Amino acid sequence: MADTTTGTAARPTTAASAGYAARQAQQKRRRRRSRWAWGLPMWLLAVLFLLPFAWMISTSLKPDADAFLVPMQWIPEDARWENYTEVLFGETSILPSFLNSILVAVMRVLGELATATLAGYAFAKLPFRGRNKVFIAYLATSLIPAQLLLVPRFVYFQQLGLYDTLWALILPGMFTVLGTFLMRQYFVSQPDEFAEAARLDGAGEFRIFSRIYLPSAMPMISALAILTFVWSWNDYETPLVFLSDPEKFTLPLGLTSFVDETGAMAPGLSMAAAVLSILPILLVFLVFQRRFVHAMTESALK
Q: Is 170:108 a contact under the CB 8 Å cutoff? A: yes
194 is a site residue for other proteins (CB under 8 A):
yes
Q: Is 212:225 a contact under the CB 8 Å cutoff? A: no
Task: Give phi and psi for 259, each to the nearest 5.
Answer: -120, 155
131 is a site residue for other proteins (CB under 8 A):
yes
Q: Is 56:275 a contact under the CB 8 Å cutoff? A: yes
- Other C-beta atoms lying within 10 Å of the C-beta of residue 44: 10
Out of 174, 182, 223, 272, the residue judged to bind other proteins by CB under 8 A: 174
Interatomic CA distance for residues 251 and 152, integer angstroms: 24
7 is a site residue for other proteins (CB under 8 A):
no
| Site map (CB under 8 A) of other proteins, residues 224-263, x = contact | ------x--xx-xx--xx--xx-xx--xxx-xx----xxx
The nearer residue to other proteins, 81 or 206, going by C-beta atoms, is 206
Residues 132-151 that bind other proteins (CB under 8 A): 134, 138, 141, 143-151
How far apart are CB 166 and other proteins at their closest, in Å? 5
The nearer residue to other proteins, 10 or 128, going by C-beta atoms, is 128
105 is a site residue for other proteins (CB under 8 A):
no
287 is a site residue for other proteins (CB under 8 A):
no
How far apart are CB 14 and other proteins at their closest, in Å? 32
Interatomic CA distance for residues 84 and 90, integer angstroms: 9
95 is a site residue for other proteins (CB under 8 A):
no
Which of 115, 224, 117, 96 lies closest to 166 in space, CA to CA? 96
How many C-alpha atoms does 198 have within 13 Å on its Cβ side? 17
Interatomic CA distance for residues 166 and 134, integer angstroms: 30
15 is a site residue for other proteins (CB under 8 A):
no
Which of 65, 99, 97, 98 lies closest to 83 in space, CA to CA? 65
Cα-based distances in Å from 82 to 87, 129, 192: 8, 64, 60
DSSP 8-state assignment for residue 265: B
38 is a site residue for other proteins (CB under 8 A):
yes
How far apart are CB 22 and other proteins at their closest, in Å? 22
72 is a site residue for other proteins (CB under 8 A):
yes
Out of 18, 35, 85, 287, the residue judged to bind other proteins by CB under 8 A: 35
Q: Where are the alpha helices (DSSP H) in 13-149?
A: 14-49, 51-60, 82-89, 95-125, 131-142
State the amino acid at position 192 in one-letter form.
Answer: D
| Site map (CB under 8 A) of other proteins, residues 200-219, x = contact | xx---x---xxxx-xxx---
3 is a site residue for other proteins (CB under 8 A):
no
288 is a site residue for other proteins (CB under 8 A):
no
Among the listed ranges 7-15, 18-26, 85-93, 185-193, the one in contact with other proteins (CB under 8 A) is: 185-193
111 is a site residue for other proteins (CB under 8 A):
yes
How far apart are CB 273 and other proteins at their closest, in Å? 8
Q: Is 113:183 a contact under the CB 8 Å cutoff? A: no
Among the listed ranges 7-15, 19-27, 85-93, 115-123, the one in contact with other proteins (CB under 8 A) is: 115-123
Is the backbone peptide bond immediately before 127 cis, with ω within 30 degrees of 0? no
